[in-house]
A and B are shown apart, each in its own frame.
Chain A
Amino acid sequence: MTFSLETMLQLTIFLPLAAVFGILAFRRNPNLREAVSMISSLVVLYFVVQLYTGLKDGEVITVDWLQILPGLQLSFTIEPLGMIFALIASFLWPVTTLYSIGYMRHHHEENQTRFYLCFAIAIGCVMGIAFAGNLFTLFIFYEMLTLSTYPLVTHAGTEKARQGGRVYLGILLSTSIAFFLLAILGTWFVAGTLDFTAGGVFGPDINMTVVSIILALFIFGIGKAAIMPFHRWLPAAMVAPTPVSALLHAVAVVKAGVFTVMKVCVYIFGIDLLDVLPSTQGLLYLAGATVLLSSVVAMRQDNLKARLAYSTVSQLGYITIGALLASSIGVVGGSMQIAMHAFGKITLFFCAGAILVATHKSNISQMQGLGRQMPITMAAFFIASLSIIGVPPAGGTWSKWYLLMGSLDAQQWAIVAVLLISSLLNIVYLLPIPFRAFFPKHDAAPVDNTLKEAPLASLSALCITAVACLVLFFYPQPLYDLATAILDTTGGAIP
């Protein structure tokens, strides 16, 4: 059975949505239900890889659906940036499914059918975002993603979960309707098109003030990118089960945000225009402030998931910085950071969940000496921490490197300082955790040394992502090629 590339593109969106019916049909048989999730995730991965080869060969893959408003079409197209995002999401979906099987069953979570169902819808939306051919299509899937992940955040059904869900939905929906939509309307009004175009859509004779305001509206309106002061939803979403935090709030949802920022900067404004816009500089500093402030907040969190959440806010700031630097190296660094952070952070969340399932501990202060009980988990935690900090031999090195190069290139000295200080802060809030796990303080309570790892399914998932962090250090080439192709307006094959 062979499909054309266009069909495959549509299937990557439809298949996760179709999986919903399979999941519903087998709701009484958990094994079959999870099999449906697993198989569809693998098939989606296969399609995305096929699309990737197609893109590498220089094929132009575009699909147009119906026209909603005159000139506004639901359309999809494949370009390198979207490909990076789609590859990450589709690779991590099966891995997370594997992890969830161990976690959800061992943790005796209720409503597992709803969990897998919303999960599949969310992935379908992510694919829609990744391949969206214009801002309008992207916006639709962006909103659907918010709505479909809401039941996942409130999964526990407790008052706390409801509170978290309220903040989550409140911030994401409000920013997107009040600012993002306004920015889209403004773009349509000024430029007359919403299609993602290499080099931007705004013509030469535009009102700089208006376009500056539109840029600010985009940066604030894309709440999923968690730029301060609209970052509160991310820590609030941590009430969700850990697999949700791992895939959605370290990868799919937040990356949908920064991906959109990147996409808007590159394909709506174009980096040449960004360079001369008066508001770029201020927003860049705001992103820098987000990076530093949330790192400081992260240091003060004792709850592991909360610390990781604030760390995510900080790391997302890097990507926004990469987009706003208005230099091609910055865009390369930012896009690579999307991938590197995804693998690093999902591993950290997997570890947090594994610790919770195996030992019921969620606070960092209780994790002294845990390395004796969970050596594999803590080793994975260590590798992933290295990747987040950006030191060899982990993949994060490269993205941090290019981001630093980009800010030097753009002569943004303040940003250079931010990046350097932030790396130090990352070390401070991440490395003590595995360090104390293996080498507890002398006055710490004695721990038993029996091996107590998480269920095998979860453990193997976190090993896969930890190894991926290492692999990305040694073989960053394909990713780098994709990232450099983003700004290559000539099209054609990717080396």
Chain B
Amino acid sequence: MLAHLPVLQVIVPLLAAPSCLIIKRPVLVWMFTLMVSGAAFLISIALLQQVLASGTISYEMGGWAPPWGIEYRIDELNAILLLIISAISTVVLLAAQTSITAEISEDRHTIFYALYLLSLAGMLGIVSTGDAFNVFVFLEISSLSAYAMIAMGQGRRALWASYQYLIMGTIGATFILISIGLMYQMTGTLNMADLADRLPQVANTKTVLVAFAFFIVGVCLKLALFPLHMWLPNAYSYAPSIVTAFFAATSTKVALYLLIRFTFSVFGYSFSFTTLPLQELFLGLGLLGIFIASAAAIYQTNLKHLFAYSSVAQIGYMIVGFSVGTSAGLMATLLHVFNHALIKGALFLALGAVMYRVNSVQLNDFKGLARQMPLTMAAIVVGGLSLIGVPLTVGFVSKWYLVMAVLDNGWWPVAVLILLGSLLAIVYVWKIVEVAYFIDPEPGTPQVSEAPMALLVPVWLLVAGNIYFGIDTRLGVQMAQSAAQSLFGGSP
């Protein structure tokens, strides 16, 4: 049983998805989905422990040895991602039933959970597999179900947002597919480890360069790196709250994982960083993303939009860490992946609670909300402080390591820019606080009460995570450190 954990991680949610259609009763489906996600979470913990205890796990699908058969390969990097995805998914699901009753009509609940599980299985699959083509397959599974879930949002704008995402996402996926095809053409293999062995021999060909370029552009579309982020704000804003919370915390992280995996493990550090000016490019785009997206966030009046732009900015921080090109920089990026999942999960779930009571996340409707929903607003404030990077929250820990990594390279101006970026976060977070705490509600707006426990508990679980991992940083830091070191192996 234990030997089969890598495949169980993916196959359990994948098989559970169609089973939802058999169960049919929404509440039962919800409990079933929650159980499946919880099981995936437990599996990911077990996998992480196995990896930490005995190193990389290689699983041969169907007993076929790689590189002919499909290999599932779990090292520290995958294990962390699996843990983040399944943990966030489970916490978000706790709130799902209550939240979607307000946002999705009841006859679609069963389908919703089936799609949710498919999407979860897709993400877990992308992260677990050691096969390049398999990556594409799972990417499509998770993306297609994502488009459908986003389209379930209220109003017609959800359809438009979903369509926008569909077009951009498909272009991204196609680019990745082209890249994989070119690599296959040059090397005759799809197994990542095998690719890593063979690519250096053909590294100087134009085809490999083109493959690399296609891959980078495709994956950057998926991870919404500025300026390829156009699909993200609308997709996050008009999707059902639960979907937003789940995706904001996980989906861009999966794309970031692909970026790291392919540049470091497949193409190799020296090819990615020395043959091509990837470092300068990513540093520039990352910094631009931080400033432009944060500035855009300041002017948003829809809070889901606001935090979506903030997500684009946070991706900028991760890319800056990546562009440093050292083990310390990569570690900062990975740490921020973990921490940002906690921050944005908490914030978007709290917005879901507001959506449940007020049925709007427009800034105007937040007037005086702090008196009516004190616990929800407090969660938004703590999440916001974490986003700014105030000490004792996870946001501070990420910033600390990121700036340290940048200083290690002697990039003082970049360190200054990173910290200046936090100032913009203060502006957009405080805009919300002022409205919620200091402006009286418009006369005539109905009085609302605090969100139900079913929503508050998951929100505060994530908020507590923000504080706990901001004080006891060992888990996040150790995981990120060992993953970054193993990716760098012997290279600098």
Contacts and interface: CB of A to CB of B under 8 A. Distances in A.
Interface of A: 66, 68-70, 139-140, 143-144, 147, 154, 157, 162, 166, 169-170, 173-174, 177-178, 181-182, 185-186, 188-189
Interface in B451-484: 470-473, 477
Interface string B374-390: 00000000000100111
A154 B436 CA distance: 14
Report the 4 A-B pairs with minimum CB-CB distance, sorted nearest first.
A140-B391, A189-B407, A174-B423, A178-B419
B285 interface: no
B392 interface: yes
Most buried by A among B389, B415, B419, B434: B419
Given A182-B419, A185-B415, A177 B388 contact: yes
Interface stretch (B148-156, B275-283, B344-352, B397-405): B397-405
A169 B430 contact: yes
A189 B404 contact: yes
B79 to A, nearest CB: 22
Interface of B: 385, 388-392, 397, 399-400, 403-404, 407-408, 415-416, 419-420, 422-423, 426, 430, 434, 438, 470-473, 477
Contacts of A166: 430, 434
B392 A140 contact: yes
B391 A139 contact: yes
Contacts of B399: 181
B420 A178 contact: yes
B426 A173 contact: yes
B430 A70 contact: no
Nearest to B419: A178
Nearest to B471: A68
A143 B385 CA distance: 11
A195 to B, nearest CB: 17
Given A66-B471, A178-B419, A185-B407, A157 B391 contact: no
Contacts of A170: 426, 430
9 contacts: A140-B391, A147-B390, A157-B438, A173-B388, A178-B416, A178-B423, A182-B403, A185-B400, A189-B407
B419 A177 contact: yes
A245 B204 CA distance: 69
Contacts, number: 62
Given A66-B472, A170-B426, 15 more contacts: A68-B397, A69-B473, A70-B477, A140-B392, A143-B390, A147-B390, A157-B438, A169-B426, A170-B430, A178-B422, A178-B423, A181-B403, A181-B419, A189-B404, A189-B408
Contacts of A181: 399, 403, 419
Contact of B438 (A68, A154, A173): A154
A129 to B, nearest CB: 13
Contacts of B426: 169-170, 173-174, 177
Contacts of A178: 416, 419-420, 422-423
Contact of A186 (B385, B388, B391, B407): B407
A462 B436 CA distance: 37
Nearest to A186: B407
Nearest to B391: A140
Contacts of B470: 68
A166 B389 CA distance: 18
Contact of A177 (B404, B423, B472, B477): B423
Given A140-B391, A169-B430, A174-B426, A69 B419 contact: no
B356 to A, nearest CB: 27
B474 to A, nearest CB: 8
Contacts of A70: 477
Contacts of B407: 185-186, 189
A470 B388 CA distance: 46
Contacts of A144: 392
A152 to B, nearest CB: 13
Contacts of A143: 390-391
A68 B423 CA distance: 23
B140 to A, nearest CB: 40
Nearest to B420: A178
A143 B386 CA distance: 13
Contacts of A157: 438
Contacts of B389: 177
B397 A69 contact: yes
A179 to B, nearest CB: 8
Nearest to A162: B438
Contacts of A188: 404
B438 to A, nearest CB: 5
Most buried by B among A166, A182, A188: A182
A162 B430 CA distance: 11
A164 to B, nearest CB: 12
A240 to B, nearest CB: 14
B404 A185 contact: yes
Contacts of B392: 140, 144
Nearest to B478: A70
A177 B438 contact: no
B368 to A, nearest CB: 11
Contacts of B391: 139-140, 143
B409 to A, nearest CB: 11
A162 B434 contact: yes
A140 B467 CA distance: 13
Nearest to B422: A177
B410 to A, nearest CB: 10
B397 to A, nearest CB: 7
Nearest to B474: A67
A143 B416 CA distance: 19
A69 B470 CA distance: 9
A312 to B, nearest CB: 25
Most buried by B among A140, A147, A178: A178
B416 A182 contact: yes
Most buried by B among A68, A70, A147, A157: A68
Contacts of B415: 182, 185
B397 A185 contact: no
Contacts of B403: 181-182, 185
A68 B473 contact: yes
A465 B407 CA distance: 48
A139 B389 CA distance: 13
Most buried by A among B388, B391, B400, B404: B391
B150 to A, nearest CB: 35
Contacts of A66: 471-472
B21 to A, nearest CB: 48
A178 B426 CA distance: 11
Contacts of B397: 68-69
A125 B419 CA distance: 24
Nearest to A175: B423
Nearest to A210: B412
B388 A69 contact: no
A69 B422 contact: no
Contacts of A139: 391
A189 B407 CA distance: 7
A192 to B, nearest CB: 12
Contacts of B471: 66, 68
B339 to A, nearest CB: 13
Most buried by B among A140, A166, A170, A189: A189
A186 B420 CA distance: 15
Contacts of A182: 403, 415-416, 419
A174 B430 CA distance: 12
A239 to B, nearest CB: 13
Contacts of B422: 177-178
A283 B139 CA distance: 57
B218 to A, nearest CB: 35
A69 B400 contact: yes
A154 B392 CA distance: 24
A157 B370 CA distance: 13
Nearest to A74: B471
A69 B423 contact: no
B234 to A, nearest CB: 30
Nearest to A184: B400
B348 to A, nearest CB: 23
